[in-house]
Amino acid sequence: MSVHILIVDDENEICEMLSRHFRFLGYEVDQAESAEQALEIMSEKRMEVVISDIMMPGMLGTDLVSAIRTEYPMTHVIMITGYVTLENALTCMRRGADTCVFKPLEDLTELDEAVERALDDLRRWKDKFLELQGMKGGKK
Amino acid sequence: MSKIIDRRILIAEDDLTSRLILSQTLSKANFQIVVANDGDEAWHIIKQADSPRLAILDWMMPGFTGLEIIKKLQYLDSNKHVYTILLTSKTERQDLIRGLKAGADDYLVKPYDADELLARIEVGRRIIQLEEDQVSFQNELKKYATDMEELATDRAKQLVHADRMATLGLLSAGMAHEINNPLTFISGNRQVLSDCWPTIKNSLEQDLKMAPANSAQIGFCLEEIPKIINGVGTGVSRVKKIVDGLKSFARQNETIRKPSSIHDCINQALILCKNRLKYNVEVITDIPEDMPDINVDKQQIEQVLVNLLYNAADAIEEQQKQGSIEISTRLKSGKIEIIVEDNGGGLPEKILAGLFNPFFTTKAMDKGTGLGLSICQGIIEEHDGTIRAENRSSGGARFIVELPLFTTTEGATK
């Protein structure tokens, strides 16, 4: 299956960089400069994983997690933040983000692993749904 | 305290008989007599710093007359007042007024009664004593005023500094955040580039086979690009450490005590000081791994250690030599001792007492504010600990910080 990732960060260079990184790894990547724009894109396009900044003008990343959890329960959210506080991290966890990765992302491996875990989880669900529909589970 | 005035009296009288009678009368009353035979001698004695405070001057005598001496006394550049009794045989009312106007404190007309003389001397002594009291009171006031002024200046400076530190804290937090974003995409892009490199390398190697004419440039790329990628990575790690330092500086205003390992505090302080210590200082640590925790605000203890390390490095640098700093910890009756010592120039005996006072510094204007150690002391005392300094017998300074160990009861109450 083709995997869609949405990158949300008001810093365009970070969007570009992460997009480049995940496109190189073979994912389809979209970018949004705000949480509002992210929700707009998601209303038209299914996303497996959203990687979002917390501190952004307008809607905060933590509010985006809540919105996604309600509207798109299957989409996994990974937060990235340069504003590392215990409060931020706890809010992310309470609102159902997969994890919170701290900038400056000296090593992208942590982010890659979070995406991998999210996709594993999605595959397991998918297998279960197929099984329940009486079809043969596509083992990928 | 006011000074008790002595019992010396100067007698300036040219007439031998009068002088003897006067001397005897006063000696009997337990006064010590300083005798001048004429006006010039009297003036010579009065001018001296330790002259008697009370003088009986004959009006008419060779050299300066009593009246002249009294006039000259007004212009004597001394804050000491000599109480003068003018001795005169003149009885004209006008003469007495002239004497008093010239500055005489009192007068006595010959022939005088001995009791009256002694009574007038007592009056003089009372006035001298009052003057003395007033002078010492004024001096005390002056001293209080100076002390208060100093205190006010210190307080004002401390406030300005605290304000500056708070601003600096906010500024550092802002800076850390601002640097973090560009650092993220520099670091991320470096990794993307690094991931792409094998592909680029492969095709470059193909190109090299196909077009050997460009071999120099292709060879250069194959050689240098991995180094460039590594170089950017090293830069990113270094900037990240600075950002971490700025963040912990910004956080230090909130005091949050937690059971912490002294080992971690020392290591973090050493990282923060790495740049300062790397050229001329060797750091030797002796920290047992199994030290129990202390209940401290880690950032603040780090700040104290950084301060001590910087001071030690400055002391070594002043000696213009390679030096070493030793950091060790040990347990001592329910407390942990952290010892930072250097082999710099040590602490001169006269500065040891004021070392922890605010604004105390031996460093050049642009180097130290003189606040470092007073802040350190503040932090350590806030943690119920002590900090002290001494000289090592082998040369150099030693700072000893004592902090109480973390206990579970303490943990429950804090």
Pairing mode of beta strands B106-109, B335-342: unpaired
- List the strands of the sheet with B386-391, edge to edge: B281-286, B323-332, B335-342, B397-404, B386-391
Cβ neighbours of residue A81 closer than 8 Å, sequence gap 6 or more: A53, A54, A55, A61, A88, A89, A92, A100, A101, A102, A103
Mean pLDDT across chain B? 84
Within 8 A of B195 by CB-CB distance, chain A residues are 21, 24-25
State the count of interchain CB pairs (< 8 A) between A and B: 55
Is residue B412 pLDDT above 50, yes or no?
A: no
Asked if B241 is an interface residue toward chain A (Cβ–Cβ < 8 A), one would say no
Q: Give the helix ranges, DSSP H, for B91-113.
A: 93-102
Specify the pLDDT at position B49.
Answer: 83
Q: Where is pLDDT greater, at B266 or B241?
A: B266
- Preferred mutation among B192, B197, B238, B256 to probe A, highest tally of A CBs within 10 A: B192
Could B184 and A14 be called an inter-chain contact, meaning their C-beta atoms sit closer than 8 Å?
Answer: yes
Q: How far is CA B153 from the centre of its chain?
A: 12
Of the candidates B177, B188, B236, the beta carbon closest to that of A83 is on B177
Q: What is d(CA B70, CA B56) in angstroms, rounded to the nearest whole number? A: 11
Give which of A67, A80, A140, A81 is closest to A112, Cα–Cα: A80
Specify the pLDDT at position B163.
Answer: 67
Question: What is the per-residue pLDDT across B83-110, written as a single tens digit (0 to 9) for each?
Answer: 999 988 877 778 888 888 988 999 888 8
- Residue range B277-303: average pLDDT? 84
Is residue A137 pLDDT above 50, yes or no?
A: no
* Distance in Å, alpha carbon of B253 to nearest chain A alpha carbon: 15
pLDDT > 90 fraction of chain B, expressed in percent and rounded: 32
The backbone region for B396, taken as left when phi is positive above 0, alpha when psi lies in -120 to 50, beta otherwise, is left
Would you state the structure tokens that stand for residue B216, as one six-digit string? 């120099």
Give which of B110, B102, B91, B99 is closest to B15, Cα–Cα: B110
Q: Where is pLDDT greater, at B318 or B123?
A: B123
Answer whether B250's CB lies under 8 Å from B173's CB. Answer: yes
Specify the pLDDT at position B132.
Answer: 87
Could A83 and B187 be called an inter-chain contact, meaning their C-beta atoms sit closer than 8 Å?
Answer: no
Region of poorest pLDDT, from A8-17, A126-135, B365-374:
B365-374
Is residue B1 pLDDT above 70, yes or no?
A: no
Question: What is the per-residue pLDDT across B338-353, written as a single tens digit (0 to 9) for each?
Answer: 999 998 888 888 777 7
Specify the pLDDT at position B414.
Answer: 37
Q: What is d(CA B365, CA B360) in angstroms, rounded to the nearest whole number? A: 11
- Residue range A8-29: average pLDDT? 93
- Residue range B154-181: average pLDDT? 74
Q: What is d(CA A55, CA A87) in angstroms, rounded to the nearest whole number? A: 13
All structural domains of chain A: 4-138 (3.40.50.2300)
Within 8 A of B230 by CB-CB distance, chain A residues are none
Q: How far is CA B39 from the centre of its chain?
A: 52
Q: Which residues are bridge partners to B58 per DSSP?
A: B87
Give which of A15, A75, A8 is closest to A36, Cα–Cα: A8
Would you state the structure tokens that stand for residue B330, as one six-digit string? 């040990």
pLDDT > 70 fraction of chain A, expressed in percent and rounded: 95
DSSP string, B26-75: HHHTTPEEEEESSHHHHHHHHHSTT--SEEEEESS-SSS-HHHHHHHHHT
Would you state the structure tokens that stand for residue B299, as one six-digit string? 């950032």
Cβ neighbours of residue B81 closer than 8 Å, sequence gap 6 or more: B53, B128, B131
Q: Tell me phi and psi for residue B201, to 5 degrees.
A: -60, -45
- Is the peptide bond prior to B198 cis by the omega test (within 30 degrees of 0)? no
Q: What is d(CA B112, CA B314) in angstroms, rounded to the nearest whole number? A: 77
The pTM for the full model equals 0.50
Quick one: CA dihedral A30, A36, A41, A45, positive or negative?
Answer: positive
Answer whether A62's CB lies under 8 Å from A55's CB. Answer: no
Using the 8-state DSSP alphabet, how is residue B81 labeled? Answer: P
Could B195 and A106 be called an inter-chain contact, meaning their C-beta atoms sit closer than 8 Å?
Answer: no
Would you state the structure tokens that stand for residue A115, as one six-digit string? 């995406």
Is residue A140 pLDDT above 50, yes or no?
A: no
Around Cβ B200, how many Cβ atoms within 10 Å?
Answer: 13
Region of poorest pLDDT, from B42-46, B210-214, B236-240:
B210-214
Answer whether A49's CB lies under 8 Å from A78's CB. Answer: yes
Specify the pLDDT at position B251.
Answer: 59
Specify the pLDDT at position B366.
Answer: 47
| pLDDT band at residue B248 using 50, 70 and 90 as cut-offs | low
Is residue B370 pLDDT above 60, yes or no?
A: no
Answer whether B287's CB lies under 8 Å from B305's CB. Answer: no
Q: Tell me phi and psi for residue B402, to 5 degrees.
A: -115, 125
Q: Where is pLDDT greater, at B390 or A39?
A: A39
Q: What is d(CA A79, CA B286) in angstroms, rounded to the nearest whole number? A: 41
Q: What is d(CA B225, CA B200) in angstroms, rounded to the nearest whole number? A: 10
Asked if A20 is an interface residue toward chain B (Cβ–Cβ < 8 A), one would say yes
Smallest CA–CA distance from B192 into chain A, residue: A21
Q: Which of A5-9, A134-138, B213-217 has the highest mean pLDDT?
A: A5-9
- Residue range B35-39: average pLDDT? 93
Mean pLDDT across chain A? 90
Is residue B282 pLDDT above 90, yes or no?
A: no
* Distance in Å, alpha carbon of A109 to nearest chain B alpha carbon: 10
Answer whether B8's CB lies under 8 Å from B32's CB. Answer: yes
Q: Give the helix ranges, DSSP H, for A1-140.
A: 12-24, 35-44, 61-71, 86-94, 109-132
Question: What is the per-residue pLDDT across B184-220, written as a single tens digit (0 to 9) for each?
Answer: 999 999 999 999 999 999 999 998 888 777 788 888 8
Region of poorest pLDDT, from A111-115, B137-141, B159-163, B278-282:
B159-163
Is residue B152 pLDDT above 60, yes or no?
A: yes
Residues across chain B: 414
Is residue A44 pLDDT above 90, yes or no?
A: yes
Within 8 A of A106 by CB-CB distance, chain B residues are 187, 236-237, 240
Q: What is d(CA A66, CA B399) in angstroms, rounded to the nearest whole number? A: 53
| DSSP3 helix / strand / coil % (chain A, rounded to 5) | 50, 20, 35
Asked if B258 is an interface residue toward chain A (Cβ–Cβ < 8 A), one would say no
* Distance in Å, alpha carbon of B381 to nearest chain A alpha carbon: 28
Q: What is d(CA A113, CA B135) in angstroms, rounded to the nearest whole number? A: 84
- Please report where in the chains the tokens 């594993």 appear, as a residue: A120
CA dihedral A57, A58, A59, A60 (to 10 degrees): 30
Of the candidates B181, B189, B195, the beta carbon closest to that of A11 is on B181
Asked if A105 is an interface residue toward chain B (Cβ–Cβ < 8 A), one would say yes
Residues across chain A: 140
